[in-house]
Structures are given as structure tokens and as C-alpha cells.
Amino acid sequence: MAVSSTSVGVVILVFILLYSDAAGTTDTGPNDMHQSPMENGPKDVHQSSNARTLQCYCEGHCPGNLQNGTCETRPGGSCFAAVEEVTDEETGQTVPEWSHGCMPPEQNGGLLQCKVGVQSPQIHGKSIVCCDGEDFCNKDLLPEYVPKTTTPLPTANISDHNVHHTLALLASVIICVVAFAVVVIAAYVMFKKREKRKPHCLIDSVCNPNLSPLADLVEQSSGSGSGLPLLVQRTIAKQIQMVHSVGKGRYGEVWLAKWRDERVAVKIFHTTEEASWFRETEIYQTVLMRHENILGFIAADIKGTGTWTQMLLITDYHELGSLYDYLQKRVLNPHMLKTLALSLASGLAHLHTEIFGTPGKPAIAHRDIKSKNILVKRNGQCAIADFGLAVKYSSESDEIEIAKNTRVGTRRYMAPEALNETLDANVFESFKQADMYSLGLVFWEMARRCISTIRGTKNTTCEDYALPYQDVVPSDPSFEDMYAVVCVKGVRPPIPQRWQDEEILVVLSKMMQECWHPNPAVRLTALRVKKTLVKLETDCSIKIV
């Protein structure tokens, strides 16, 4: 495009020069076309190789200020006769004054002065006629006297010349502007076409959000359910726009953010919680980890400028917030309770299950199940989040992978074997059984907010939201507080009598009591809980064995 614009400019410049030259060479007025031999004389004399001196009649311009006489020109000069407008000192009026003399050879024998005098006497107030044909040729010359005027007389040739010149200049400018605009527009169009052809992203939907929503990027990238490629994660992390904070916790802060006009959640870890960030990122990127009841992972990255560091974890955003917040603001009907409980059990069952194959998924224990680490989706289902304490187990290697993390779980939800330190860390089933204890407590929180009909009336009722053991331990209980209540006294959350009047509450109350049994081996598995809730709709007479 640069070559094209240069070529157009050169062509236009040549056109202007040729047009101007043609206008200048063809501008010949009647006075030039029909000059008398006398007026053409000086030019011919100057160009002739036989330049000679002339004897001229002089009057008013004689050498030595003589009155009348003879003067002699230098070679190449000419004789002239002139009339000039002067002011009479006595009358104060303007009168003509004639003079004769010799014209010096400079300026082509006075050709310039002669032309000015002949063509524009009304402007200059002086008319000059020159000759060089013979000696004393100017004696009988009488130039026409034209009084001086303030405005020039209209001359058709000069006006036409000015009009033509103006039109040519205007046309040239317009052509240049139009050509330049065309070149600029063409260059811009070509640039945009080239930009569109360039591959900007590793996957199509990062470039074009219309191809697939953000949740489908993983399937488009690998299909393994292990998250996006690292370069794509970092690209997304750099394009995130923070909106506002939605919550703070002991280990970090959660922000609502936007990526390509789609809302996402960004968890910013404290600098002291690098181990939690690393572990959670590692768990999320486990093969076949993705599940509808596990918080959708998008990207993870570390940002820093040398003076500060931010560890980011970018996930799906669920506007209803955590189960803890959800239960405080809403009451549940039996269907909503079943949906929440079944989805939570399904997510935990997926975590606990080891999938064999290539690739395969290790079994994972959460180790920090609580209502604040469970999010509520728009469809009323749960999504398990916060895997900073999770452990992995692969039966092939028979190794339990426990992250080096000084962080401990939430004491209120800790299983008795964790509180009395009898949990066998060398057996992976121990971690799964501890998760089931915590699951029973979360079920209890859900059940309290489910409405049931009061016997003998049409009225409904439910309990206020409460945390497990809220009435027997402080708001931030210590290990000793929880150990005394759970292990020593064997206290468990109370089961209200009204729960026996609603089918889902009956089933859940039996399951939660099995889940928080002091003997870990007696507790139900996540898969058993899931299957029981699935059968609830088709089988009204369920026995838990």
C-alpha cells in the first residue's frame, strides 16, 4: 500500500506541473500576439549577433540635461518615446508630459519597461514606446496618453488566465485530497483483513466468545477435564478486570471480575498462603476432575511487580453465594432440600471415587467440608469449592499425597478422630470417613431451613439458621472446646421432632446420624448417600442399612 500511495502522489504532481506549464505557455494576450515591429525590435536586436549603437532623438532625458538634442545608445540599446502623467505646479491639475531618449541595453534593451508601459499605462501612469529600426526612429513616435486610474481596466485575457489558474489549482487540491483519502481507507481495510487472519489465541473460543461459553473451554482444549493449558490460563489472568470484593476469609479474598464480558470469581490468596494456592491449583488441574457439582476451574496465575505478589485462582462465579449465606436468607421446600443434598453428595462421591484408565483420576478427600466452602448454583444445586487441604490417593502407587501445608481444617466440622488425634493418616479411607462426618453436619444445616406442615394445621414452620454446635461452643471454638463436646460428651446436633412429618427430612435425619457416628467404619459412603437420595423419588419406603 505504501508503493501505491507514492505512485499516486507522483502522478498527481506531474499532472499539476504539466497543467501549470501549459497554462503559462499558452497565456498570450492580443498585445503579445500582434506586437508591432517596433516593440519586437529590442528583442531581435539583443538576440542578433550584429548589435550596434543607435542615434536617438532626446527630449527631457538628454545627456548633460540638454533641452533637445541627440543621444547615442550603447550596443544593444534602443530609442524610446514616453508620455507620463505629472502635476502642474501652477494649476494643480494632472497633465501629460512627453519625453524621448535612449534606452540602456540592460533588461533586453529595456524590453521589460516597454511592455509594462504598453500593456498597463492606466496603472503606472506612464506609456512607453520603443524602437531600434534606425537612427532617430523615436522622433515621430507619439505614445497614447491614458490617465492613471486606481483600478485596472478589465482585461479579458488576464481574467481568463486567473480563472483557469484558480480552477486548475482547486481541481488539483481536490484530486490530491480524494486520492489520499482513498489510499488511507484502502490501507486501513487491508490492515484489518491481515489482523483477522492472524491466529491470536491458542483456542478459538478465547478469540471468539460466541463460539463457546467460558465453561466449555476445557472440553475444547483437551477434553481431559484437567483444565486449560498454562499459556491460556495466563492469558486469561492478564485480561481479567476486577469489579468488586464479594467476601473475605481467613486465607484470602474473593472478587467478582469480568473476562470478555463474562462474570468470573477471582480468589486472591494472602502471601502467607502460597501452599494453599499451589495445592488448590494442583487439585483443580487433576485429570477428570471437572464435575457439575465441583466448582468450575478456569485459570490460576501469580502476579507480581517486585514489591507485591498476588496469587490468583479464577473460577466460575455463582451469584447466590455460599450455602452458608444462602441458608440464612432463604427457607427451603422439600424439593429444594433434596436438590441441594443430592448434588452435594454427587460432588463428594465424584471426589472420593478413583477412576481407572488412561488417563485416570485419583481418589481425592476434601478435608474441609463446610457450608462456607459450598456454593449454590442458579439451578439450585451445590458446587464444592476450596481444595487447599485436599489429599490425593492412587491405588496403583498406593501413596497418599498430602500437601505440605500448615493450615488445618475448620475445627467446628472436624471429625472426632481428628480432634482426639486417632485418625490414621496412612489409610486414605480415614480421610474419606472424616469428610462424611462433615457432610452429616452440613445436611443438618440444610434440614433446619426446610419447611414442614404443622400437624393438625395448614401452617408451615422451620428452624432459624444455626451452625452445628452453635449452642454449646463459642463462635470460634478451640480444639479443646470441640474435643470436650464431641469426643468427651459425645454431643451431636439435635434432631427436631417435626422432621418426622416430612419424608425428605426423615431420610436425611437418618443419613446424617449415620454420617456423624463416632465409629468411622460405621459411617455411610458418599456413593451410598447419593444412591439413597436418587431412589427417594421412586421408592417411598426406603430403609437405610
Positions marked active-site: 368
CA 106 to chain CA centroid, nearest Å = 73
Pairing of strands 374-376, 382-384: antiparallel
CA nearest neighbour of 461 among 415, 514, 434, 499? 499
Task: Report the SS3 class of residue 545.
Answer: coil
Label residues 477-508 b or e (16+ Cβ within 10 Å = b): beeebbbbbbbeeeebbebeebbeebebbebb
In sequence order, the β-bridge partners of residue 254 are 247, 267
132/138 Cα distance (integer angstroms): 8
Nearest 5°: phi and psi at 73? -80, 160
The CA-atom distances, in angstroms, between 379 and each of 319, 329, 372, 383, 534 are 12, 17, 18, 11, 17
Alpha helix ranges (H) inside 353-498:
416-419, 428-448, 479-482
Tell me the longest C-alpha to C-alpha distance in the chain: 153
Tell me the DSSP string of 259-291. ETTEEEEEEEE-GGGHHHHHHHHHHHTSTT---
Instruction: Provide the 10 A C-beta neighbour count for residue 176.
Output: 16
126/261 Cα distance (integer angstroms): 84
Q: Which residues are CB-neighbours of 351 under 8 A, at least 6 positions away?
A: 294, 363, 364, 365, 366, 384, 390, 526
Task: Report the SS3 class of residue 127.
Answer: strand
Nearest 5°: phi and psi at 394? -120, 125
267 is in an annotated binding site: yes
3-state secondary structure 26-44: HCCCHHHHCCCHHHHHHHH
Percent composition of the chain: helix, strand, coil (DSSP 3-state, to 5): 45, 20, 35
Alpha helix ranges (H) inside 285-381:
323-329, 334-352
89/95 Cα distance (integer angstroms): 10
* DSSP for residue 76: T
Pair 337, 287: CB distance under 8 Å: no
Binding-site residues for ATP sit at 267
Annotated binding-site members: 267
